[in-house]
Structure 1
């Protein structure tokens, strides 16, 4: 034991001496020679060597005719490629994101972090983790999330990627001229690049895990349902986001931004041709000054994304069998933060409600809650026919002890957004995954830990907001400080560091084995695999231990989604179908059945039903009429029986 420890110490000293000399590290790949460098990763007072390769281009520059097109693989290098420094990030990055590197539409690069042990053991191989960052599919970059600490201390190869976002990544005309989702195709091309080249860096192409947070997790979720990705990755980690956390549709302001940029065309091909000629700086200015950002997100393109969110929320099992098979074949680790809905407050209040959040501290009237917030979100989640559900959600998220209290309503709105878009989708997807393939690992967590260096803001926000776990997961990397605000080392408590180590160990354990508990020993409770029946999950929270085994994450709020909501959706679907096969006045719900099919209501590309609204009053009227008919039948039967009895008595007499 002592000899092993001494040997390990000597090897680390040799590695650190080699790194101190600033030695470069070259790798020969199928696309040419790539020059990286050795460095030191720091965590909790400990140093470990790491090999870093920055800004490796995986696609040709997506400008000119390649704008609004799927990416083209990068041609081989004609000379050794210098991957020792950062270059371009995605074009749009808000000032609040920190100090970003120079940005450009030419952003299709990836970064690779390799455990430094490979310097003296060139035959060493490691599992691979590909990180997809979040940011509403609008902003952010790989540079904000350096993988040096995870790689060095978790003993995995980490790949972080840039991809097109916002206008450049998801602009769509709603047809084949510009079908959208170029950012998703960028991501997929990195998977192919890793599959073809990562072995040269010491990575195992047969042990690849995708992990992402928020919009990044949504992207990972889409890829898990795309059969064309089979064999490119084997496990997925979804942090605060799933395919059900997003409603894909074509943005409604396409014509507006076209007009703003001088492209006043009604034909898709003419509009796209014009937009391809507009300088990127002019587009960036239009995006920043006119707030077109939120409309350019993943859409139904008939290829990568074939199904709307309302369809998915009804039944994932009924999808294309190849999609279900691919999803079920993957090990799944997924979870949410206890108050993920906090991220939606800023994004919703000012652009949608036209309310200055600073003036009213996110207070909302009862009318706005019932007439704007609930209807808009329910329709996005379940389709336009789902307005029947409006009253159900209003009832469920109203404190009836004091329905006029704006402060209680504020909390209820936050709970509504958290449950509808993050908590319920996470558990729903976990149920499906566990049921379809119990042999594949399904692990669920709740992150409830509030780091010591973050003051809860605003004070009324109860729980851990979206993204709080990321600095801990990335080990408070000193490289992260270059691009995002991070606490000074003295502000990070021993508890913060302890949980950071636990998360790194669990995440990398999962990448190695599909089980977060092994091979590296974990302090705290065993993380049991999730099943819908037992409901085992792990909660990260303050205390000792910080990782606590729990059961039944389905609290009273979430039980509504699993017990009441499916029945309500069945009523909607049955009502719509009855009207499509209308045989009489009992089933006249006032729906437009011009596009009804024999089995289910049809959706168009925007993700909305081609029918009008089913209302609760319609159904009640039908029930009343049906009851009246039954009552009349009963009365007539009674009269007939009485008549027969009297006749028999008369004949007997």
Structure 2
């Protein structure tokens, strides 16, 4: 159990095409059930207060049977009006946290559209900006319908699309019989973006103004699109939330048996794992054709095991869709020239570390030093000098600060320096240390969540969580920043700035009169130290 937990914990918790333009839902209105004609057939959605939703729209054919582990193919056309009043099936996955059986379906390549009611306001462009959301979940769980973007549509005036994509072994398997590791997960997302290009105008959106955004694995997905040649022309702006291209976690940082967390791995590693997995599954056949026939004949439950879903959660590079390791591509300037917003939360790693403290506590300074030595070796004393235990309420919180800065915040700022050499780049640090409990995990004694991983999501999406008046005001400001950036490539709105392109300052986002302000995040989070650690062979 310890080894499986060690391999699983970090990724498992990384959660939680054109035709004539038509105004949103002009055809076949039925009370509060608007109808839109897509390029595959008509869909009937639902009208809410200020926005309309169209859910469960297929953007590709079901990747089942002989289409398992094939690049996505076009969805079939349908006759009549398809009901789009409820989400489609989620992709096969295991529970985000804890034991449990697989859920979902391989027939899962659906997306959801949320659009403002009515046409653009007077003085606005004829079509609205489009925002395409890729969910988090470590590439192992999650779904587009978990995120409700009504505020982004009604208050921000954006057409928002949330997407399902294949997960774990179903999306990131590799084997010589497949010609390598084709990155089906990335291919699914690109197919969804092509659907957006062909259908956005039918929902009142501008297919020439598409922003990709996502958090955690969704943020890593945005990184993939920035650096995948096949994503060229499919989007025009990018927002990466808690998922920088350089994200990593050192070995033994959370658990003694846990290796380094790497979201992107070379293709040959995935193929080697795929060969071994096929043999264990009883499909070590003499020919590639027989191997695939055997693997495609297995029930989804035989593939959706914790070990296999975890092993095939990293994305392969050195492939046709992702030729280079993303962080190296950024360093070399090999990415699409679009404006970028990047951000992290101040206490990213508290979410992950807190779930391990029961089994592997950090009760005193000696235990803290031992954890530093295990994670950073010869650099441990240097790290302790920058993060003295006396500067934190307890040793575990000192270690959480170390991991947050080393794994998320400083890698983000390092990536932003590379981006800013070529494109406008805006950085934020979310710092509401009393944010609503979005993760819903059991509390850990004497270990507050703070501004942990994912806690900015209720400020953008409708979660139903209670907020104070200052927090609601922050949510309004953030909605304005995100949708203004989607509309113009600049997040500033009248009276809400300044948030300027890349400079030493980062915009801190917190509630209260002085909560939104520039900070020197690189200095406050010891990024000179972590940059030197990253350069160490």
Query: What is the rounded CA distance, in whole Å, between the counterparts of 1:108 and 1:425 in structure 2?
Result: 32
What's the CA shift string for 1:388-411, capped at 9, x where partnerless? xx523x233235998999996644
Corresponding residue for residue 502 of structure 1: 477
Which of 119, 133, 148 in structure 2 is aligned with 1:146? 148
Shift of 1:264: 4.2
Corresponding residue for residue 222 of structure 2: 220
| Stretch deviating more after TM superposition (164-173 or 267-276) | 267-276
Corresponding residue for residue 8 of structure 2: none
Corresponding residue for residue 11 of structure 2: none
What SS class does the counterpart of residue 264 from structure 2 fall into? coil
Corresponding residue for residue 624 of structure 1: none
CA RMSD of aligned residues (A): 3.5
Shift of 1:496: 1.9
**How many pairs were matched up?**
482
Query: What is the rounded CA distance, in whole Å, between the counterparts of 2:479 and 2:386 in structure 1?
Result: 43
Alignment of 1:30-429 (within 5 A): 30-40=39-49, 49-94=50-95, 103-118=104-119, 124-173=126-175, 176-245=178-247, 246-249=263-266, 250-251=269-270, 254=274, 257-259=277-279, 261-265=281-285, 270-284=290-304, 287-288=305-306, 290=307, 292-308=309-325, 312=327, 316-318=330-332, 323-324=334-335, 326=336, 329-345=337-353, 357-361=357-361, 369-371=372-374, 373-374=375-376, 390-392=377-379, 394-399=380-385, 410-429=396-415
CA contact (8 A) 1:340 1:422 kept: yes
Shift of 1:235: 0.4
What SS class does the counterpart of residue 370 from structure 1 fall into? helix
2:432 is aligned with 1:449: yes
What SS class does the counterpart of residue 161 from structure 2 fall into? strand
What's the CA shift string for 1:260-302, capped at 9, x where partnerless? 5433458765443322110113323xx14x4742542211242
Q: 1:404 to 1:33 in 2, by over 3 A?
A: closer
Shift of 1:254: 4.0
Q: 1:301 to 1:498 in 2, by over 3 A?
A: same
CA contact (8 A) 1:181 1:297 kept: no
Query: What is the rounded CA distance, in whole Å, between the counterparts of 2:302 and 2:387 in structure 1?
Result: 53
Query: What is the rounded CA distance, in whole Å, between the counterparts of 1:344 and 1:263 in structure 2?
Result: 36
What SS class does the counterpart of residue 105 from structure 2 fall into? coil
What's the CA shift string for 1:22-46, capped at 9, x where partnerless? 4321112332222222122xxxxxx
2:532 is aligned with 1:515: no
Shift of 1:21: 8.1
Shift of 1:204: 0.2
CA contact (8 A) 1:150 1:475 kept: no
CA contact (8 A) 2:491 2:499 kept: yes
Query: What is the rounded CA distance, in whole Å, between the counterparts of 1:558 and 1:423 in structure 2?
Result: 8
Q: 1:149 to 1:177 in 2, by over 3 A?
A: same
CA contact (8 A) 1:128 1:158 kept: yes
Q: 1:425 to 1:141 in 2, by over 3 A?
A: same
Shift of 1:424: 1.7
Gaps of 5+ in 2: 1-23, 248-262
Query: What is the rounded CA distance, in whole Å, between the counterparts of 2:286 and 2:396 in structure 1?
Result: 42
Query: What is the rounded CA distance, in whole Å, between the counterparts of 1:210 and 1:526 in structure 2?
Result: 23
What SS class does the counterpart of residue 339 from structure 1 fall into? coil
Query: What is the rounded CA distance, in whole Å, between the counterparts of 1:101 and 1:115 in structure 2?
Result: 35
Query: What is the rounded CA distance, in whole Å, between the counterparts of 1:406 and 1:549 in structure 2?
Result: 23
What's the CA shift string for 1:610-653, capped at 9, x where partnerless? xxxxxxxxxxxxxxxxxxxxxxxxxxxxxxxxxxxxxxxxxxxx
Corresponding residue for residue 518 of structure 2: 549
2:511 is aligned with 1:537: no
Gaps of 5+ in 1: 1-14, 41-48, 350-356, 375-389, 477-485, 573-653
CA contact (8 A) 1:34 1:80 kept: yes
Shift of 1:118: 3.4
What SS class does the counterpart of residue 358 from structure 1 fall into? coil
Shift of 1:178: 4.7
Q: 1:202 to 1:403 in 2, by over 3 A?
A: closer
Shift of 1:228: 2.5
Query: What is the rounded CA distance, in whole Å, between the counterparts of 1:134 and 1:339 in structure 2?
Result: 18
Shift of 1:434: 1.3
Higher Cα radius of gyration: 1
2:532 is aligned with 1:560: no
CA contact (8 A) 1:180 1:301 kept: no
- The structure where helix makes up a greater share of residues is 1
Q: 1:462 to 1:132 in 2, by over 3 A?
A: closer
CA contact (8 A) 1:181 1:301 kept: no
What's the CA shift string for 1:283-324, capped at 9, x where partnerless? 23xx14x47425422112422222236xx35x73436xxx33
Query: What is the rounded CA distance, in whole Å, between the counterparts of 1:458 and 1:140 in structure 2?
Result: 28
Query: What is the rounded CA distance, in whole Å, between the counterparts of 1:359 and 1:407 in structure 2?
Result: 21
Query: What is the rounded CA distance, in whole Å, between the counterparts of 1:244 and 1:227 in structure 2?
Result: 19
Q: 1:417 to 1:148 in 2, by over 3 A?
A: same
Larger RCO: 1 or 2 (CA < 8 Å, sep 6+): 2
Give me the TM-score of the superposition, normalised by structure 2.
0.80
Query: What is the rounded CA distance, in whole Å, between the counterparts of 1:442 and 1:113 in structure 2?
Result: 27
| Stretch deviating more after TM superposition (396-405 or 126-135) | 396-405
What SS class does the counterpart of residue 265 from structure 2 fall into? coil
What SS class does the counterpart of residue 499 from structure 2 fall into? coil
